């Protein structure tokens, strides 16, 4: 499984990203091969279960650093023709570059080896570029309920009140805030923070008003 994002800017510049869903990495990496801000103990998330003695670098930062470093180049243009290719289908949209970057970095983070984000791997595998807020709510809650079904089949009581999902959002919010601090301390470009902050704001909105968003799409099931 892989995904490809191609940005064609109005000035003729083309940037291409190929990301494999399965991308195993060694726990200990050469520090000279990656930016300092990718090291595990550099603004490590307070809720991170990984040890810096076992992992030399943050899995999310390692996977995201090449994309983050290219944000400035992409954001030099306001709009881009964005082409997304997966083994099953292709998507194309002419839109602002930030929309494509948010989708790409969201996919990379959710499919990384970060334990906190591992619960989002199912959604990443069935990645939907350019998803609206309603589509995101539908996909997140459906994915969570499917996960509860598997737990139920193994003998656990299913969580139909989304209490576990709310807790998951809280953990991800801590991660998002810490990752922004990591980028802020390690990179000079404000555009990096703008893209990430907007992505994380969407996550925060879902965390704080999940029930309201669910109410808004309830009519689809009446």
Range of the domain at 64: 2-221
**Looking at residue 188, what is its pLDDT?**
61
Which two tokens mark 94? 């002419």
**Looking at residue 189, what is its pLDDT?**
54
CB 45 within 8 A of CB 116: yes
**Looking at residue 144, what is its pLDDT?**
95
Query: What are 1-43's pLDDT values in tens digits?
Result: 899 999 998 888 888 999 999 988 889 999 899 999 999 999 9
Alpha helices in 30-120 (DSSP H): 59-69, 71-75, 97-110
Give the mean pLDDT of 105-109: 91
**Looking at residue 169, what is its pLDDT?**
87
Sign of CA dihedral 57, 61, 64, 65: negative
**Looking at residue 97, what is its pLDDT?**
83
Share above pLDDT 70 across residues of the chain, in percent, rounded to a whole number: 89
Mean pLDDT of the chain: 87
Give the mean pLDDT of 101-122: 91
Residue 94 above 60 pLDDT? Answer: yes
Which two tokens mark 140? 């997140």
Task: Say whether 15 sits in a helix, a strand or coil.
Answer: strand
Considering only 108-117, 125-134, 136-145, 173-182, which range has the smallest mean pLDDT? 173-182
**Looking at residue 194, what is its pLDDT?**
67
Tokens 């350019």 belong to residue: 130
Beta strand 79-85 with 14-20 is: unpaired
Domain count, the chain: 1
Give the mean pLDDT of 48-56: 93
Q: Determine the Cα–Cα distance for residues 119 and 113; give it in Å rounded to an integer.
A: 11
pLDDT-based confidence at residue 67 (cuts at 50, 70, 90):
confident
Tokens 């879902």 belong to residue: 206
**Looking at residue 2, what is its pLDDT?**
92
């Amino acid at each position: 499984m892989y995904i490809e994002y191609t940005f064609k800017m109005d000035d003729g510049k083309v940037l291409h990203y190929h990301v494999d869903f399965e991308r195993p990495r060694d726990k200990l990496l050469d520090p000279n091969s990656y930016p300092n801000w990718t090291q595990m103990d550099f603004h490590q998330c307070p809720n991170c279960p990984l040890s810096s003695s076992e992992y030399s670098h943050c899995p999310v930062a390692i996977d995201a650093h090449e994309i983050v470093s290219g944000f400035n180049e992409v954001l030099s243009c306001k709009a881009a023709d964005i082409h997304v290719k997966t083994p099953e289908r292709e998507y194309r949209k002419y839109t602002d570059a930030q929309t494509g970057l948010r989708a790409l970095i969201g996919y990379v983070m959710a499919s990384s080896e970060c334990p906190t984000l591992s619960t989002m791997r199912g959604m990443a595998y069935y990645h939907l570029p350019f998803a609206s807020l309603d589509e995101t709510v539908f996909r997140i809650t459906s994915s969570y309920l499917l996960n509860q079904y598997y737990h139920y089949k193994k003998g656990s009581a299913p969580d139909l009140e989304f209490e576990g999902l709310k807790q998951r959002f809280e953990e991800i919010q801590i991660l998002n805030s810490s990752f922004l601090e990591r980028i802020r301390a390690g990179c000079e470009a404000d555009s990096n923070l703008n893209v990430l902050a907007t992505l994380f704001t969407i996550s925060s909105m879902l965390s704080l008003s999940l029930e309201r968003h669910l109410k808004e799409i309830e009519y689809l099931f009446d």
